[in-house]
Amino acid sequence: MAISAKEAALSLKNICFQGVRKHFAAVGVEAVLGLPTPLIRDLLPHLTVCQLDELQPALNQRGLSTHPGWISVLQDMCGPNHVTDFDTEEEAKHEVMRMLFTLVFYGFTNPFVKRNIANLNTPSFLWAAAKCIKHFLLTTPVESLTAERRPLLNLLEKRIWSVGVSQSIDISKRRTQTALYVLHRLLDHGVAKKIVVHVQCPIVLAWILHGRGSQYVNPDLKELLESKKASCVSQTASASADGAGGGSGLGTGAPEEQVTPCKRSKLDSAEESGRSHFTLDPQVLCRTFTPRDGPSAGACPWGRIDCLDIRQCGSDSLRVLNSALPTFFCLRSLTLHSFLTFRDSDVLSLAKALKQLSDSSHSSLADLSVSVLPCTWLVEVLLDASPNLTSLTAEIQTLMWGQRLLPQRPRAAGSGISGAEKAERLPLEKLDIKVAELQTDLRFVTSVLRRCPQFTSLRLAGIRLPSGSSLSQLFTTLSESNPLLRSLNLEDLKLSDCLPEILNLLTDCKLEELRFNDCRLLEQWSNKEESLQRLVEALKAVPSLHALSLAQNRLAKNVCVLAELFSGPAPGSVKRLDVSSNFIQPAELLEFAKRLRTHRPPHRLTLDLRVNPGDRDPDTWNAALKRLRPFCVLLVKGWSSTDTMADHISNM
């Protein structure tokens, strides 16, 4: 079949684009910049990530964005149905670099990496990617950072703000000092202030905390440090004597490629003989791995940990942390997560340590996140123990085998907190509570809200009230006690009987973000369309509201009412609307698109339509999307109606 002239031109253009990609170095940046603007925009999706990175500064000066190129890479990596919700080129670029750096540095592969390995497995790519990433995951192998990739470590030291430890570091083994050295470089010589520990390893946690904010010294770690330091001094003297004749011993300033064979031999022989002659002391580690003219020439600095995130916090790790907390004055943010529910005694010990820290005038702890707590009253125990918190996140899960039989002890029990202190107002600004229990007493939330006049953000999920009770008191409390509220995020709650209180809250508020996700809003409304219109009119009257989510509320055909958000002489200011998982049929979306086209939003609207059954009538669905695209950024993910369970759940 003969191809048209238009198809031939497109084919020739693509061949030229591939030629530019292949011979980019020969073509040169200036030649690309000399192309007409429409041609440059068409070229961007065909370039490699390094080429996009090189062109970006010059294109920005011309007022052009590389955003389409980065989005094209993301779609190529993750598939066409992956939601690439990145509004700026920097956001999209950093996501590309973050994903690819991990894949290439650690040798992982996916189809995209395999197709582009020649352009990715290069020092220039890793260097470009390292300039973008802020979090470094410490896992095997990191040995290359002390050998052929040593320059990369120098760059990471200046760029990385957060370090993750994702594999257990066996301190009893000699080889682990490479990982400890990299940690030392990033935490002490570098700018990293946050550490994320993904493993349950109390002695490694003690090593991380030692000297980096807390004055506490773990006795087990102290014994190890002293014994290993003594052994290392003996070994270093021996190594210096052995290397005097050959000129390749440690600390001689010889090139690394000359040192490595000798050093590797000594390490192997030490392990084979069972002699663990190595050091845990960061200062000695630095002298061992770094040339004399490197960053550790002279005394090493001690870093400071501002943010600590322990993802597998068992009782042993918590014991190490609790001992360090009272003098951990530089700590601003603390996150503790246990896969098992914490015991009451664990939480009360934590509260006691937090109280000791807060009693000092040097404490800077502002953000606390703890999961999983065994009961709701411990939330107030933690708040009273650390009354200067501005943000608290907690997940609560009662034991599956029934109600707790422990007596309801006073909330301050075990934490040394008086009733007078408990009544004081709190500076808390953000509260995030997720509950998994059969029944919850809402009073623990409302009592906290009344004590927090500076409150700006609330997220509640999963609260179940006794039969006949209502969450209306929550909205009444917010209206009366929290006039500065900016963000309200409610998930998996029953709000269908709270419409009057919701409308009252919206009449005089400063909300910027409102999320009612899976809240069964329409469940008990006798006239669903009329009630939804009342809600929409109230939302329009909130000029500060920019983000609205009504996901998983079974809106279905009633989604058309939401187009009224932008009608009339004073349209709403919503810029992001989430109606995902609402069983919106293609015909209903088309009607919504027609109404929205009549009442166009004053700003370009980001519209989340994911997990709605568009495949039931693809032509109508695509026609609706076509109508929406001129004034909407659409987030669409494929739906398969053959998945009958998902279909049933969304239409319940």
Q: How confident is the model at residue 592 (pLDDT cuts 50, 70, 90)?
A: very high
Q: How confident is the model at residue 645 (pLDDT cuts 50, 70, 90)?
A: very low
- pLDDT exceeds cutoff 80 at 181: yes
- pLDDT exceeds cutoff 90 at 501: yes
> Stretch 103-121: mean pLDDT, rounded?
88
49 neighbors 100 (Cβ within 8 angstroms): yes
pLDDT score recorded for residue 143: 84
Average pLDDT of the residues of the chain:
83
Task: Confirm whether pTM is higher than 0.85.
Answer: no
CATH topology of domain 521-652: 3.80.10
pLDDT score recorded for residue 405: 40
pLDDT score recorded for residue 327: 94
Share of the chain above pLDDT 90, in %: 55
Strands 605-608 and 632-635 turn out to be: parallel
491 neighbors 462 (Cβ within 8 angstroms): yes
| φ, ψ (nearest 5 deg) of residue 393 | -120, 130
**pLDDT tens by residue, 289-309:** 876 545 555 788 999 999 999
**pLDDT tens by residue, 256-279:** 333 233 333 333 333 333 344 457
d(Cα 326, Cα 340) in Å, to the nearest integer? 25
User: Among 6-20, 116-130, 483-497, where is mean pLDDT lowest?
Assistant: 6-20
d(Cα 80, Cα 638) in Å, to the nearest integer? 9
> Stretch 521-528: mean pLDDT, rounded?
90
382 neighbors 370 (Cβ within 8 angstroms): yes
Q: How many other β-carbons are positioned within 10 Å of the β-carbon of residue 641?
A: 11
d(Cα 305, Cα 157) in Å, to the nearest integer? 15
* Helix count and strand count (H, E) for the chain: 27, 15
Query: Which secondary structure element, helix H or strand E, spans residue 549, and what is its range?
Result: strand 547-549
- The identity of residue 535, as a single letter, is L
pLDDT score recorded for residue 232: 44
> Stretch 313-328: mean pLDDT, rounded?
94
**pLDDT tens by residue, 371-414:** 999 999 999 999 999 999 999 999 999 864 444 444 444 444 34
> Stretch 70-91: mean pLDDT, rounded?
82
**pLDDT tens by residue, 162-178:** 999 987 777 767 677 88
**Residue 289 Cα distances to 284, 295, 635, angstroms:** 9, 11, 49
Q: Bigger pLDDT: 249 or 4?
A: 4
- The identity of residue 276, as a single letter, is S
505 neighbors 473 (Cβ within 8 angstroms): no
The DSSP annotation for 441-483 comes to -THHHHHHHHT-TT--EEEEE---PPTT--THHHHHHHHHH-T
Locate the domains of the chain by residue range.
18-133, 134-239+248-305, 521-652
pLDDT score recorded for residue 6: 54
In the block, which residue shows the tokens 């170095």? 25
**pLDDT tens by residue, 331-371:** 999 999 998 999 999 999 999 999 999 998 889 999 999 99
